[in-house]
Structure 1
Amino acid sequence: LLAGTLIGSLLGGHGFAGGGFMDIILIGLLAFLGLKLFARFRNRQASAAAGAHGQHSDAYNDRMQGMQRESTESNGWDVLRGNSQGAAAQAAAGPNIPMPEGFDADEFLRGAKMAYTRLQNSWDKRDMDDISQFTSSAVQHAVREQMEADPNPSNTEILLVNAQLLGVENEGNEQFAQVFFDVLMRESPDQQAPSTVREVWHFMRPVQGGSWKLDGIQQVE
């Protein structure tokens, strides 16, 4: 009401016309009300900021306490090592792959990766004697045909080999395993961008144990 009276007086051309006592009172009251409103506004902002800071502080303290509990329960390197091994085993063996009892999937996949690299190196050298040591007669026949069509040695650079076990099963006296390979390679020195090769390799060996042999290669589009 005081503000309305003063504004009406100013708009009507009478404000502070004579520097009267009422004008001084009105100015003082307006200044007092303005200071009170400003102080209340500042108090609200301070309360809101304090509440937000308190929430962040509580969340931060909870996280710190959780980290301290984890660090006291187990060593950080052990946690990382356990997580990495679990993830690697899951990625290597695939989800819910049925396996014969006692089958070591990790050891088998390490050997499968070595077989992939060895076959590629032997193929680059056109070394049929080495290829015959870990391949079946059907694969040997297919490789000989390819060598006849392309007898010149090649130079392949394998950059990355990812392998995933698709399945293992026993059929009669034979044990069969399938591995999916996702490989990044450079097939010639002048190739700028590497190429991706995806294949399923079929391995076999006697159920009683023995050396695995490559029995077939299936291209994956």
Structure 2
Amino acid sequence: MKKFVASMLFAASALSASALPGMASAQQAPAAAAPATAPASELPPTVYIGGAVMLFGLAGFFGFRIIRRRDAAAKPAPAPVSAKPAMPPGVDTGALLRQAKATFIRMQKTWDKADANDLRQFTTPQVYAELQPQMQAPGASVTEVVAIESELLGVETVGDSYRATVRFSGQIRTAPGAAPEALAEVWNMSKPVKGGGDWKLAGIGQLS
């Protein structure tokens, strides 16, 4: 845009400079002796240069606008963001988030104690089979949940179970007296559609 404006100013100044001498001579000459129109070949070179610069500036400007419009049309419109995720009927979101937060805190204590029996109580069989072999000796780690917040990202029905996605954020301390560390995790929680029961941990993902 700056190059286009500069080109327009340059062209205007060139045209003005070429026109001023002609205007002065016309004022001094008698009215009866009007000068004949000069042929195009005798026009000053600055007129041609200014006109060419103006044409190039206009071509570049409109070409830029066409490319912008074409690129904007090629990009898909962003999908609308729902204020609240859709919930299957019968799902108590408040109870779900409260249990998810309690399960998160319980998980830290269970892991520090290496309590495999307790781990089995709030995890699915698949998650238990994956996590239990990774447990270390009791007391090998000490985790303190300094602050924890939970956000429900969505709930869907998968087969005969509900699958909820919960994002956790907050701070934890991994050693006595250590500085708190930021945490960001996404947990999957599952629960049978029929028969009631508690939500169980079905997967853990780290957020960078």
Shorter-chain TM-score category? 0.5 to 0.7
Aligned position for 1:115: 103
Secondary structure class of the residue paired with 1:132: helix
Aligned position for 2:186: 200
Aligned position for 2:153: 166
- Counterparts of 2:160 and 2:182, CA distance in 1: 36
- Counterparts of 1:178 and 1:127, CA distance in 2: 25
**Residues 97-152 of structure 1 deviation map (CA, whole Å, 9 limit, x = unaligned):** 000123211111001100001111111111110010010122112222211xx324
Q: Does 1:213 align with 2:200?
A: yes
- Counterparts of 1:162 and 1:106, CA distance in 2: 13
Aligned position for 2:137: 151
Secondary structure class of the residue paired with 2:122: coil
TM-fit CA distance, 1:95: 2.7
- Indicate if the aligned counterparts of 2:96 and 2:199 stay in contact, CA closer than 8 A: no
- Counterparts of 1:115 and 1:219, CA distance in 2: 17
**Which amino acid letter does the alignment assign opposite residue 205 of structure 1?**
K
**Residues 136-181 of structure 1 deviation map (CA, whole Å, 9 limit, x = unaligned):** 122112222211xx32422211110100001001122111101000
Flag structure 1 segments of 5+ consecutive residues without an equivalent.
Answer: 1-93
Secondary structure class of the residue paired with 2:94: helix
From 178, 184, 190, the equivalent of 2:165 is: 178
TM-fit CA distance, 1:199: 0.6
- Counterparts of 1:114 and 1:220, CA distance in 2: 20
Q: Larger % of helix: which?
A: 1
**Percent of aligned positions with the same letter in both sequences?**
40
Bigger CA radius of gyration: 1
TM-fit CA distance, 1:212: 1.4
- Counterparts of 2:197 and 2:158, CA distance in 1: 16
Q: TM-score if structure 1 supplies the norm length?
A: 0.54
Q: Does 1:140 align with 2:156?
A: no
